[in-house]
Amino acid sequence: MSYYPIEATSISELASLIDRPYKSPTNVKIDSVAAPEHALNTSLIFLTSKKKILTASVVLTTENIATAMNIDAVIISQSPRLDFAKLIDQLKFKKKSPSGKIASSSIISQSASVAPSSTIGEYTSIGPNAVISEGVKIGKNTTIDPGAIILEGVEIGDNCTIQSGAVIGSCGFGYERTPEGHWYKIKHLATVKLGNNVHVGANTTIDRGMLVNTVIGDGVKIDNQCQVAHNVSIGDNTIMAGCSGIAGSTQVGKNCMIGGGVIIKDHITLTDGVIITGGSMLANDVTQPGIFSSGMNAISNRKWLRNHRRLLNLDESLRALEDER
């Protein structure tokens, strides 16, 4: 689901919950919250920058953005993301009660914890001490190894392998700083969706999205001890080696290769067919396929210290050269 139903609430009631002013030609009501790209005409969204709105009923944003975009129904906030987080903590969400179905051909360990509302496909096996939470859907011929944890609402396709210690669907690392300097936790309403033929290595974590799902495409292979943050999308047949991390809201294309120990920054996009060599850090969009590297190979400590001292004195050395000219 890309929007999240709530009990119908008027714009005046919403504004009063966070003590913020509002402008609206009528006391319009909303019945869901959503990301801007998935909003209904009865949804509440928030904006921290000018962004095309396909449809929405009420927008929580700054006065400057509201004026520039000529938004009719708006709640004015100096910190839209923080106030949105406070609002969703107070709204009453409508949750469906999923009905589970466990295939008779599935093999489930007696020590596994499987919620009654989960769906387990044919010939899928759930290992000892694994946890399958409420509303989880797992396809056929999938293996959940001992001690793996699949949290609420996660969807896993056919022919997948989730190795021991993996955690899929934990709350994303989302916080917003308050005026007092404290960190306010942002509730994550979305989930994680894994396609077919996906491998998730031991002790790898894949976080659920805030308002949009974290999506792992068909045929993706993720090694041990990797981190995939909230709202990330990984395209089909991409492979990711051990101890790599992808920060929040980054979009990785199809058929990419991510070497061991790679760090990929948040909110960037990688096109299809990108190869990143081990130990690299990627901080910008990649719009063309190819091989990308960063970092420096280890050398003896003595050489490294000498080079580091020279680097620290680089400005002085350059100025001395310029003076000689």
Model confidence pLDDT, tens digit, residues 85-138: 999 999 999 888 778 999 999 999 999 999 999 999 999 999 999 999 999 999
Domain check: are 130 and 203 in the same one?
A: yes
Which position among 199, 230, 267, 308 bears the catalytic label?
Answer: 230
Distance, CA of 306 to chain centre: 42
Q: Is 230 a catalytic residue?
A: yes
Asked whether residue 2 carries a pLDDT value surpassing 80, the answer given is no
Range of the domain at 246: 101-292
The answer on 112 and 35 residing in a single domain is: no
Residue 257 scores a pLDDT above 90: yes
Beta-strand relationship, 183-185 and 175-177: antiparallel
Report the pLDDT value the prediction gives residue 54, as an integer from 0 to 100: 67
Give pLDDT tens digits for 149-179: 999 999 999 999 999 999 999 999 999 999 9
pLDDT on residue 61:
95
Q: Same domain, yes or no, for 163 and 250?
A: yes
- Sign, CA dihedral 254-255-261-264, equals negative
* Residue 127 and residue 71 in one domain: no
DSSP per-residue string spanning 235-253: -TT-EE-TT-EE-TT-EE-
49 by Cβ neighbours in 10 Å (0-12 / 13-18 / 19+) ranks as exposed
Domain CATH number, residue 122? 2.160.10.10
Residue 182, judged by CB atoms within 10 A of its CB (0-12, 13-18, 19+), counts as exposed
- pLDDT for the residue 1: 62
State which amino acid sits at residue 158: D
Q: How many domains does the chain have?
A: 2
Same structural domain, 154 and 259: yes
Claim to verify: residue 143 and residue 174 sit in the same structural domain: yes
pTM score of the predicted model: 0.92
Is the residue at 47 inside a domain? yes
Contact assessment for residue 19 and residue 37, using Cβ atoms and an 8 Å cutoff: no
